[in-house]
Structure 1
Amino acid sequence: MTTGRAPAALAEPAEPVGRGWTAALALANGAIWVGWFGPLQILLAAQARDFAPGSGMSKETLLAWVTGAGAVVSLLANPLFGALSDRTTARRGRRVPWLVAGTAGGALSLLLLAGAGGPWTMTLGWCLAQLTLNAAFAAVTAAVPDRVPRLQRGAVGGWLGAAQILGVVAGTGLAAAAGGIGAGYAACAVCAVAGVLPYVLCHEDQRLAREDRPPWSARAFLAGFRLSPRRYPDLGWAWLTRFLINLSNSLVLLYLLYYLRDRLHRPDPEQGVLVLTAVNSLTLVATVVAGGIWSDRTGRRKPFVLWSGVLMAVATAALAGWQTWPGAIVAAAVLGVGFGVFTSVDFALMTDVLPAALDRGKDLGVINVANALPQVAAPALAAPVVTHLGGYRVLYLAAAAIGLGGALLVGRIRGVD
């Protein structure tokens, strides 16, 4: 550093952000989730069904391989692009260039998926989509600790969470209503690009001056991705809490289309997925912002994470014991209540335990591994359980136990109330 005072880009933010900034960032976040969940909820499962007969695999196994490969890419891409954005000295700031590049690349990747002719092209397209959309997502999440004061982060995290869920609904709706797999991918690509434009055109980040950027060292850059739980125990416990609760949620979502078709025998399972997603999203949106604001006002994070995780575990267990269409609707509603509070407050908790301002993007990327890694682990766990070890009842009981364990571990965090 050239002075004893932290540069503006690295200072702890003190001035509250306005509604326009929050709305534009939330819209960009929702657009990225459209690009992810249109494929994950409908389109990839439909392609796996079409390509499975010629691949020598069942549709469940093929879908597990494709989503697992994409999740591995996501696992690496988010912290990598977060770290690169930390050190970016562009005129528009550290984050905006990566938001632009990532969204454009994501749209092109979705168009590649639209033209996929077999399992290998499908896998390549999804891996590229995960790579590029994670660059954009890393930029969006890092913008919050860059610009938002601590006691406003629950509310801002709530709006980002609401946009995320609306993005899931919009992506699912576009995929289901577009009239075909190719049209579904194209609609998601257009929506992703359109959604980031207001933030890109109207807002800039804090710029990092070249003299404030640390000297480049490949060895130090790579070493920075290791965040020692021994050195940062609160970060370690917070990461594990997020990982386990997201793993539970991933186990619920992965085979939802097949659960409705093969276990509940719904005549139109794609429409059923859309209905459950809408119910889940309505209750989630009803609690995600309110939970974040409530947490900000009380100055506490852990009780909200604990009880939202417990509620989600109860709802997941209900899917195992009440395997009917009304049971699925009730479970989707209760899961939405729990995940709404968890989404906003856990995000605020994560930003509260970040070690260093210079590495906000990288550290949040490492934390976001707890979102991507469950997508790798869930197929590996779910496929053998569904096909050989007891079916959907055992799968959802295991998911409930995993989520409950994650909720209880939040009590190990000491530096946050």
Structure 2
Amino acid sequence: MTITSGRDGRDGRGAAGARTGPLGALLGAMFLFNVAGYAAVGAALQVLLPSQVEAADPVGKLSAFGLVTGVSAIASVCVPPIVGALSDRTRGRWGRRSPWILYGGVATLASLVLLGWMSTVAGLLIGWFLVQGTVNIGLNILIAVVADQVPKDRRGLASTVGGLGVPVGSLAGTVAGAQIHSALLAYTLFGVVFLAASVLLALLSRERLTGAESAERVPLRVQFGSALAGLRSRDYAWAFSSRAVMFLGYFAVSSFNLYILSDYIRLPAGLDPKDALALQVTVQTVSLVIGTIIAGPLADRLRRHKLFVLISSLMVTVSVALPLVSPTWTQQLAAAVIGGVGFGAYLSVDQALVTLVLPAAEDSGRDLGVFHIALNAPQVVAPFGGSLVVAHLGGYPALFVTGGLLALVGALMILRVRSVR
């Protein structure tokens, strides 16, 4: 494998190479890969990691959980653009993306096993930092595969298929994480499944590179220094900012679901918070699947991706703030339905939208790597900020207000995107 300047010939889709297999098989592998990846992430963030933090520091669990996830933002922010830029310039018989997908699968398994061994807050911080860095290698590269190998008129479908893997994976991970009492065993199982899915996707996303390829090597400092160059494009920058702020509001609340159910929501007698969380995620997932299936193909047909992103973002905003009305289990399930439909529609359309506003096709891996930060960074930054809001600004009601306002601002920012090609 070599890393070159990456300025080679392009095919009709704007990719450097051609697909070696049918589109249906690739989409199926993308779905399974997202299921495996988000099962691991969902189980960790929703059940396993909060339980580990609570066992390590029962009194300071909120601040400790915020610290563990907040510091990990460094890995989540830095890895996607770096790996994206390197994959743009990777050359070999396996193409540009497949080697990195495979590397990410192996590294993620090792990081998850290490996290399962940790029992102190410091150890959990190190373990989760490594997981965030490694799992985002493949999850970022997956978006570049869409830009490389999926025709533009099928990207809504690709986003729908890939987007469905997020709720299915999160549901499977949350339910399995709540049932497996050994953190080490759970993390190991999730890591093995993710590695298997990585191998499958690497095989099916292998490119047959075409065109003249430069053998000139580009210094790493030059590649990394240009990582954020795509944000100079106005529409791309607004799409990035809209996603980042909306997700920050959403994850500021959802990251504390287990603690909210334990300390704030009035649950029915006999319903354990972990069981309530599994049921809530199930309801949300069913709703999310409905939103995902409907929105992606409909946005392709109507060619109104921006409108669908706006409406779905507003639905997420409502779901985040809804617990303010009443801290009841019924209200929590209603929020799960509204948020599920909205979040599903958002996932199925937003990814397709950004592929239509990319600044340059030859740097799609780099720019989509940066865009992936807008999904990952809020997931790890939000718990840190949320813990400060709960501790110092008025408890969980203040958290719902803060999350709702952030989600609303993020939703309205998409209106600043003008040109969708």
Smaller-chain TM-score range? Answer: over 0.9
* Contact persistence 2:266–2:328 (CA under 8 A): no
Residue 193 of structure 1: CA displacement? 2.0
Q: CA–CA distance in 1 between the matches of 2:225 and 2:283?
A: 44
Instruction: Tell me, in whole angstroms, the C-alpha distance in 2 between the residues paired with 1:339 and 1:396.
Output: 17
> Alignment partner of 2:209: what SS?
coil
Matches within 5 A, 1:310-349: 310-349=314-353
Partner Cα distance (2:18, 2:197) in 1: 28
Residue among 175, 178, 184 paired with 1:176? 178
Displacement after TM superposition at 1:299 (Å): 1.4
SS in 2 for 1:225: coil
2:390 aligned to 381, 386, 391, which one? 386
Q: CA deviation at 1:245?
A: 1.2
Q: Output one character per residue of 1:237-296: Cα deviation in whole Å (capped at 9) or x when no partner.
A: 101110111111111211111100011254511111111111111111111132110011
Q: Choose the corresponding residue for 1:362, options 346, 363, 366.
A: 366
In structure 1, distance between residues paired with 2:402 and 2:188: 36
Change (3 A) 1:13 1:202: closer
Amino acid at match of 2:244: F
| Structure 2 gap ranges (5+) | none
Paired with 2:297 and 2:13, the residues of 1 have a C-alpha distance of 26
User: Match for residue 309 of structure 2?
Assistant: 305
CA distance in 2, matches of 1:376, 1:277: 19
Corresponding residue for residue 40 of structure 2: 35
Q: Name the counterpart of 1:245.
A: 246
- Pairing partner for 1:152 from 148, 151, 154: 154
Name which of 44, 50, 54 aligns with 2:49.
Answer: 44
Distance in 2 (alpha carbons) for counterparts of 1:228 and 1:18: 28
Displacement of 1:380 in angstroms is 3.4
Q: CA deviation at 1:13?
A: 9.0
Structure 2 matches for 1:226-241, cutoff 5 A? 226-227=228-229, 229=231, 231-241=232-242
In structure 1, how many angstroms separate the alpha carbons of the residues matched to 2:116 and 2:383? 23
How far apart are 1:106 and its partner, in Å? 0.5
Q: 1:216/1:2 Cα in 2 relative to 1: closer, same or farther (>3 Å)?
A: closer
1:13-55 Cα distance to aligned partner (Å, 9 max, x none):
99996322211122112211122111111010000001015xx
Among 370, 375, 379, the residue aligned to 1:371: 375
CA distance in 2 between counterparts of 1:382 and 1:321 reads 19
Note the aligned Cα RMSD (angstroms).
2.4
Give 3-state SS (helix, strand or coil) of 2:359's partner: coil
SS of corresponding position for 1:211: coil
State the distance in 2 between where 1:14 and 1:240 align. 32
| Partner in structure 2 of residue 60 of structure 1 | 62
TM-score of the superposed pair, with normalisation by structure 2 = 0.92
* Residue identity in the other structure for 1:246: F
The structural deviation recorded for 1:182 is 2.0
Q: Return closer, same or farther for 1:365/1:5 CA change in 2, 3 Å cut-off.
A: closer
Which of the residues 124, 127, 150 maps onto 1:122? Answer: 124
CA shift for structure 1 position 214: 5.7
Q: Secondary structure at the match of 1:92?
A: coil
The answer (yes or no) to whether the contact 2:227–2:366 under 8 Å persists in 1 is yes
- Matched to 2:373, the amino acid is V
Could you say which residue in structure 2 is the equivalent of 1:398? 402
Greater mean alpha carbon deviation, residues 237-246 or residues 261-270: 261-270
1:100-155 deviations in Å (ceiling 9; x for gaps): 11011111111111111312221111111111111111221110000011121111
C-alpha separation in 1, matches of 2:329 and 2:187:
29
What is the number of residues matched between the two proteins?
413
- With over 3 angstroms needed to count, the CA separation of the structure-2 counterparts of 1:232 and 1:214, relative to structure 1, is farther
Per-residue CA deviations over 1:167-211 (Å, capped at 9, x if unaligned) read 111111221111222222122112212333332344422437782
Identity %: 33
